[in-house]
Amino acid sequence: MTESLLAGALNHLVRFQLTGCTHSAHVAAHLLDQIADRSDVDGDTRTLYGRMSAALEATRGNARHV
């Protein structure tokens, strides 16, 4: 299950990077948060995904919805 969440997050992250779509940034952040909340993911990875989610949410105000 974690692999499909990560694949979805990366898909939306790439879409955000290519288009600036704020919805994709939000979805990627949400999926990364879901992974970060899983107990079967190691602590360093959970921290990394949590930080990435926060960074994506912070950039939403500077991007555009496509």
Q: Where are the domains of the chain?
A: 2-64
3 forms bridges with which residues in the sheet?
A: none
pTM comes to 0.84
Both structure tokens of 10: 């990366």
Sorted by sequence, the CB contacts under 8 Å of residue 36 that are 6+ apart come out as 46, 47, 49, 50, 53
Both structure tokens of 32: 């990364």
The per-residue DSSP string of 39-50 comes to TTS-HHHHHHHH
For the segment 6-60, what is each residue's pLDDT rounded down to a tens digit? 999 999 999 999 999 999 999 999 999 999 999 999 999 999 999 999 999 998 6
